[in-house]
Chains A and B, each alone.
Chain A
Amino acid sequence: MSETAARPAESTDLTDPTEPAVRRGMLLSKGWIQLSALVALTGLFGLILMGWLTYRSDPPIPQTVVSAAGGVVFTGDDIRAGQKVFLKNGLMEYGSIFGHGAYLGPDFTADYLHRSATEVLESYGGPSSDSAARRTREDFRTNRYDEASGTLTFSTAQATAFPVLVAHYGETLNRPDGKNGLRPNAIPNPQDLRQLTAFFAWSAWSSAAERPGKNYSYTNNWPGEPLVDNKPTADVVVWSVLSLVALLGGTGALFAAFGRWNWLGWHGRDQRELRFREPQTVALTPSQRATAWFFLVMAVLFLLQTLVGAAAEHYRADLTSFFGIPLDRWLPYNVVRTWHVQLSLLWVATSFLAAGIFLVPMITRKKDPKGQGVLAYALLGALTVVVVGSLLGEVAGIRGAFGGMWSWFGMQGFEYLDLGKFWQILLTIGMVFWVVILWRGLRRRLSQESPGNMPWLFFYAALALPVVYSAGLLTRNGDPFTVTDFWRFMVVHLWVEDFLELFTTVMVAYIFVLLGVVREKIALRVIFLDVILYSAGGVIGTAHHWYFNGSPASVLSMGAFFSAFEVIPLTFLTIEAWSFIRLGASQESRSPTTFPHRWAVMFLVAVGFWNFLGAGVFGFLINLPIVSYYEVGTALTANHAHAAMMGVYGMLAVAFSLFALRYLIPPEKWSDKLARLSFWSLNIGLAWMSFVTLLPLGILQLYHSVDASYFDARSLAFINSDANRLLEWLRLPGDVVFIGGGVLPLLWMAVQGVRAVTRHEEAAPGADLQLFTEVEDHDPIEATAAGRLT
């Protein structure tokens, strides 16, 4: 299907400087919008349904837990307070609960379950006694919660085990010499320890006690624990099979359609010849120049993130000290890991915010509205306040600062939503502020466009970011864990894996359109296809994080089935991107000027590669419920997280920065060598991290989890095993390459950008800010008819 531009007033060419007198109609048929809306609404309905099911079916918190022999063991208030102790002390960034959290410390649900079951078994006669084994299983699997009175009755043996475990956690979490990853004497208050143990005990109870009317527990029999007869349920196995069917069937269907119809339409000859403008001939607006500082902040945060990541990794290789330095006294594992996770989101977000601001004048081809540059700097200032405040708050909060306001200014303690609520609110407001900045720059252009065209899609994608992120504000440390997890994953999954993915697609598509290498109609089709395919799987597929956290089996089934569909767009778009790159050289080779964004595009190629491998392959590797049952919270999860987060969003953030810096840095200071060094080092370092450490370690850990038990695979004894420590140490060369060769050159380029930023001249008043490509037509007759040639 060829594109036509009948009259200048209805130009369909984004690079056409003629300002249309009327609003430009939608370039695609309305069917695309209708289908997108239908799929998105279906997904939203599914999400609401799962939320209702979760609120309705989460494990109850009893008012009182009593012993069969008489006496109160602990109360519901103890459980809720214990959850707060867990979060306040950053224990979710040390170990995990219901499989969610960090991976150095134990999973406390599995840990309490195993230890208490062992105590109970011993009290009944030990492992050699069949009746002892039977009684142990009965004690844990029988659900003695009375909803009417709110009383849960523990067997005498279970109740006797409780103070034993209070003492155990007091010893292990409160060591005076540290050497376990936490700071010395981390939780000295006996009341805190008792309440914390109550929280663990409740989580362990819910993982073994059978749901009323069912033969499996509140957590679908997770974790596997032979002592209490916890093994995979029928739902776990069947929905794993159906998930595979969904993946294979969906992939087949998509490629049957893809092979049959040339939907995207870009495989034809392009009639235009492009001339790439030299970057130094493109005038930049004040807001664009302000982004140089954003990219410097981005690079600094990236460097800091890698350094604390190295520190966190070192704990896994050597718990006793950091090359002789007792690092745990000042920066224990839970602090460095918190910073590592938070900084990954913050530096990527900084790049995305800057890239959005940078792109607006190129979309509108107009000067900034008044004060846009000042607003950009104000946003940067606000971002700096949030970053510094939240990071310092986290370390202070873990040390007990802020008293009762710990979750506001210190640390909320939820993995990925560690930052204090105050900082979380400020960050959300900051994102809204960013949308306002974009709106100011875009609004005139938006008034001239159909709501289904690219400028509007860019704006919607940007607007969705603060809207979806704000759902994370509904996590409250006093709510039941299963409920808080529902809202937490609105950020971790829906925001990160869906809406950031959408923003990514729109940004990349727009950059290619503005460069002239992809037509707007084709880019629009890709974006709508992205919305449809990702919404089909990714919205309801959020539930693949909730298999074993206390959500009901119906949520597990929906999560397993729909999350398989997430892999399909990754596969499809990878093949399309690969084809695009192979065909793309024809444009570059005809241009008399060198394509100025080679390395930005190379980073986008890396995004495509890691999207398929890190998100698709490594993600699906752990997606099936039967696999997740044994590996949740292990190195296989970390393998997917690193390959996907850094491989996709990290590489993309770098691509955006190189795209902008190419204009900000004068040509005599621009270094293709540094860009090449950074590209190779980041990719080699990430590949090394995955293939030398995380993947083999994850496979070993998975084997151990199935062969021995999940408890064993998550124990410090396993982490400290020779094989594990060897694999952790082997990561060192790759990390050195990543930081030294990958991050430092980028930092230097960002410094160059800031130094050069004052040297750009202001655009002359009234000057039209030209795009950096000019279009010349091969066919002058068509160009004349189109009004592009007179």
Chain B
Amino acid sequence: MPAALVLLSVYSLALVGAAHGLRALGRRSTSPWASRTLAGHLRATQEPPEDVSDEDWPHSEVPRLYAGMAIVAATAATALSIGGLALARDRIEGSVLLAVLVLSGLTVARMAAAFRS
């Protein structure tokens, strides 16, 4: 399989993985005091700021931001695998890229549906 198609396949899969990772990140609590990174400061500071709710801006934007980025990453993977499919010259290359296309396309569809709802 030519280097270009290997790269497109692996890279598209990495983008799909990144999309799932971003979506998972967007579901995590954005409370500053839920973060392990800030845990040390919470212990050290005498009067830490109040906690915030998910509806306070900019926390309210976070799930949408990550979900949007995830959809872009998955869409990019889909576009690249479609392009790779156009370059495929034999069945093996075509099959691999088709598999990647199906995976990325399903990811886009699922994430877009969740975003709309």
Contacts and interface: CB of A to CB of B under 8 A. Distances in A.
Interface of A: 259, 262, 267-270, 575, 579, 581-586, 588-589, 595, 598, 601-602, 605, 680, 684, 687-688, 691-692, 696, 699-700, 703-704, 707, 722-723, 726-727, 729-730, 733
Interface stretch (B45-53, B90-98, B99-107, B108-116): B45-53
B92 to A, nearest CB: 17
B4 A723 contact: yes
Nearest to B11: A696
Interface residues of B, number: 41
B56 to A, nearest CB: 4
10 smallest CB-CB distances across A and B, nearest first, come from A723-B4, A269-B47, A585-B56, A582-B32, A589-B56, A585-B52, A267-B41, A726-B83, A583-B32, A692-B76
B76 A691 contact: yes
Given A680-B68, A696-B11, A267 B49 contact: yes
Interface in B65-80: 68-69, 72-73, 76, 79-80
6 contacts: A262-B41, A262-B45, A268-B46, A268-B49, A696-B80, A699-B11
Interface of B: 2-5, 7-8, 11, 15, 30-32, 35, 37-38, 40-41, 44-50, 52-53, 56-59, 61, 68-69, 72-73, 76, 79-80, 83-84, 86-87
Given A262-B41, A692-B80, A733-B79, A602 B15 contact: no
Contacts of B44: 262
B15 to A, nearest CB: 7
Contacts of A684: 68, 72
Contacts of A601: 58
Contact of B38 (A582, A691, A700): A582
A696 B7 contact: yes
B35 A595 contact: no
A267 B2 CA distance: 53
A789 B114 CA distance: 51
B8 A579 contact: no
A432 B56 CA distance: 43
Contact of B48 (A267, A575, A696, A700): A267
Given A262-B41, A267-B45, A598-B58, 8 more contacts: A262-B45, A267-B48, A581-B58, A582-B38, A583-B38, A585-B52, A586-B49, A687-B73
A583 B37 CA distance: 13
Nearest to B52: A585
B55 to A, nearest CB: 8
Contacts of B7: 696, 699-700, 703
Contact of B86 (A262, A583, A726): A726
A340 to B, nearest CB: 23
A700 B79 contact: no
A718 B51 CA distance: 55
A605 B8 CA distance: 30
A586 B76 contact: no
A727 B83 contact: yes
Given A581-B58, A583-B49, A601-B58, A688 B87 contact: no
Contacts of B73: 687, 691
Nearest to A699: B7
A733 B58 CA distance: 29
Contacts of A269: 45, 47-50
A268 B44 CA distance: 9
A733 B47 CA distance: 50
Nearest to B73: A691
Contact of B57 (A262, A585, A692, A730): A585
Contacts of B87: 722-723, 726
Nearest to A601: B58
A581 B58 CA distance: 7
Contacts of A680: 68
B59 A585 contact: yes
Which of B30, B46, B76, B80 counts the most A-chain CB atoms under 10 A from its CB?
A: B76
Nearest to B86: A726
B41 A700 contact: no
Contacts of B32: 579, 582-583
A705 to B, nearest CB: 12
A588 B56 contact: yes
B58 A585 contact: yes
A698 to B, nearest CB: 11
A462 B21 CA distance: 41
Given A259-B40, A691-B15, A703-B3, A730 B50 contact: no
